[in-house]
Chain A
Amino acid sequence: MVEFILRRVLQAILVLFVMTVLVFFGVHVIGNPIDLFVSSECTKACVDAIMANLGLDRPVWEQYLIFLGNLMAGDLGNSFTFGVPAMSLIWERFPATLELATAALVIALVLGLPLSIHAGLYPDSPVSRAIMALSMLGFSVPIFWIGIILILTFSVRLGWFPAIGRGETVDVLGVPVSFLTLDGLHHLALPAITLSLIMLSTVIRLTRAGLREVLTSDYIRFARANGVRETRVIGWHAMKNILIPIVTVLGMEFGSVIAFAVVTESIFSWPGVGKMLIDAISVLDRPLILAYLIFVVTMFVVLNLIVDILYSVLDPRVGRSAR
């Protein structure tokens, strides 16, 4: 187990290194952030002073070495635009994104599991066909379009839900959350639904396919031959086998949803990290972009680990010897 974790960490470090090189030099090639945010009244001397202050006057390879050195010391640098540590900005915004992504995951599971079990048990029924057609749409229709249509329908036309922003929040353990207030839930509904669609479709397709396969297996037939009740056969004997691929895929999917909630957050002006990333990219705020991407890579590594641990819990054949 220790060796396993160690190997994972080394892989992560390698990925981080390659990623920082690409992003660092990529951003450098795109342009000089100073040109984007200094005011027009700033003279040459003033610009040079800012450049020197941010370290941008040095050669790019030297800047990268300095960045690496600071990274070793755990310092990801200050945001060019905000002048505060980049990580603090991320931590400030992250709860909003995590809340949105978690809400999307809950919607995907709560809706997806019953729908897909129905579709798996009665594959030929019209309801099942409708469910499968909708899951196909969920995959294929772009998120920004769905978001806009939801806003047009439920905010503009019907006026049921607010179109933008995060509602009233309350602090839980010092973290602001919005799902505990009615206003917060109200604001959460549309973005969470939008963000959940791909995960929902994934859950539906995976569970249905898994269920169809597992139901023909001998062990399900054996359980039925012993008179075990259908609810128990489907709900436990079959589901426990299907959960393994679902957990794997959803674990990764959840990471992507957090990392790339960019589109949804932009549409609904959700004050999360995705929105922040877009803003950072548009002003070439390199420390903030890098900090965010390092954060995302780390998150994926951690999610991967969690999935692997869940694996050995769900499937007794995996990783017994390692524990």
Chain B
Amino acid sequence: MDPVLDIRGLTVAFGRGATAVPALFGVDLTVQRGEIVALVGESGSGKSLTGFAVTGLLPSGAQVTGGAVRLSGTDLRGLSPAAMRQARGRRVAMVFQDPMMTLNPVLRVETQMGDALRAHQDISRRAARPRLVQALADVGIADPAARLRAWPHELSGGMRQRVAIATALLHGPDVVIADEPTTALDVTIQGQIIALAQGLCRDRGTALVWITHDLAVVAGIADRVAVMYAGRIVEDGPVDAVLDAPAHPYTRALIDSVPASHAKGTRLPTIPGRMPGLSDMPPGCPFAPRCAHAAPACTQAPPPVVQTADGRAVRCLTPLVPVAERGAA
């Protein structure tokens, strides 16, 4: 079966021409129908940018410079702005990080959800109402009819995020991109929202790309995990395999720096240095300067993608797990 989302060699740059600064360096990511994929990385690794590139909502100044983004077989890059708008909300939807900022402060919940519904359906405001009430009930909002008339500031953060999820799922999109939707929430609410999103997507066969920097979340929600570093996906594989035996030194270091995974009383390992900025990207592997396993060759050229013996993709010359025989894949 065709993957629902297929990103191939996606490159994005800020600015144009000679002064353009690349931000994504050939991102490959495939999401199957109904699959939940976690996209993990530090701030600035390009994970949100990848999400925005898929929905055609890149910040001003940034543009896609190469590669392809296929949504259920259609190349989004070839679409006109009008066709792209048609795809947004209906085939791909997004949920954002800060629920306090996601809803328009001066419009009622009903207006915002109604506009999202009417964007793709010729339906009167009155006729839309029961649909919206049902959508709110589906995301576990008590007294949905009253909440529909509420202003955003009258709702709690968790409730707003539920409204955002309900809105994103209105048209039953093929894939939902959730950009750190629980980062700004209390821990107890985080769990509820994660369970909710997971449950809804499983029930409806909606694929979910969950962008996060929190490995604890990854373990709880995802089927697969893709680790991003400095505008590249450095490791991509099933969540258990990646978390148990990371292939890329960066993934290893990331897991090790989670406090909970560490024995009490010993010093918490940290990754020395910081991620290179967009304008001072080294010629070789961007992680090489911070990497404990770096070989001289690592600083020469960006490492190619290699397959590990258990079928993961890793962008490293010195992976931590056995690689597949050359040509065997």
A299 CA / B55 CA spacing, docked (Å)? 51
Nearest-neighbor residue (CB-CB) of B103 within chain A? A219
Interface residue range, chain A: 20 to 34
Contact A241 B57 (CB under 8 A): no
Contact B104 A223 (CB under 8 A): yes
A315 at the binding interface (Cβ < 8 Å): yes
Q: Flag A220-253 by CB within 8 Å of B: 1 or 0 each.
A: 1111111111101000110011001000000000
> Of A218, A224, A314, which is within 8 A of B88 by CB?
A224
Contact A227 B119 (CB under 8 A): yes
Contact A315 B119 (CB under 8 A): no
Nearest-neighbor residue (CB-CB) of A216 within chain B? B59
Nearest-neighbor residue (CB-CB) of A316 within chain B? B151
Contact A222 B164 (CB under 8 A): yes
A contact patch SS = helix
A322 CA / B64 CA spacing, docked (Å)? 50
Once A226-B167, A227-B116, A228-B116 are accepted as A-B contacts, the answer to whether A317 and B105 lie under 8 Å apart by CB is: yes
Contact B93 A317 (CB under 8 A): no
B300 at the binding interface (Cβ < 8 Å): no
B contact patch SS = loop
Contact B103 A316 (CB under 8 A): no
Contact A228 B102 (CB under 8 A): no
B299 at the binding interface (Cβ < 8 Å): no
B98 at the binding interface (Cβ < 8 Å): yes
Q: How far is the CB of A219 from chain B (nearest CB, A)?
A: 4
A319 CA / B307 CA spacing, docked (Å)? 61
Q: Which of A216, A222, A232, A244 has the most CB of B within 10 A?
A: A222
Nearest-neighbor residue (CB-CB) of A220 within chain B? B104
A217 CA / B86 CA spacing, docked (Å)? 21
Q: How far is the CB of A238 from chain B (nearest CB, A)?
A: 9
Contact A317 B57 (CB under 8 A): no
A32 CA / B106 CA spacing, docked (Å)? 57
A228 CA / B57 CA spacing, docked (Å)? 13
Nearest-neighbor residue (CB-CB) of B115 within chain A? A228
Nearest-neighbor residue (CB-CB) of A123 within chain B? B60
Contact A316 B105 (CB under 8 A): yes
Contact A225 B94 (CB under 8 A): yes
A183 CA / B253 CA spacing, docked (Å)? 81
Q: How far is the CB of A247 from chain B (nearest CB, A)?
A: 12
A221 CA / B57 CA spacing, docked (Å)? 7
B98-116 CB contacts (< 8 Å) to partner A: 98, 101-108, 112, 115-116
Q: How far is the CB of A124 from chain B (nearest CB, A)?
A: 10
Q: 7 closest A-B pairs (Cβ-Cβ)?
A: A227-B89, A226-B116, A218-B101, A225-B94, A226-B89, A227-B119, A316-B151
Which residues of B are in contact with A by a Cβ distance under 8 Å?
55, 57, 59-60, 85-90, 93-94, 96-98, 101-108, 112, 115-116, 119-120, 151, 153, 164, 167-168, 170-171
24 contacts between A and B (CB under 8 A): A216-B59, A218-B97, A219-B101, A219-B104, A221-B57, A221-B96, A225-B88, A225-B89, A225-B93, A225-B96, A226-B116, A227-B86, A227-B90, A227-B119, A228-B89, A236-B107, A237-B107, A237-B115, A240-B104, A241-B105, A316-B151, A317-B105, A317-B151, A317-B153
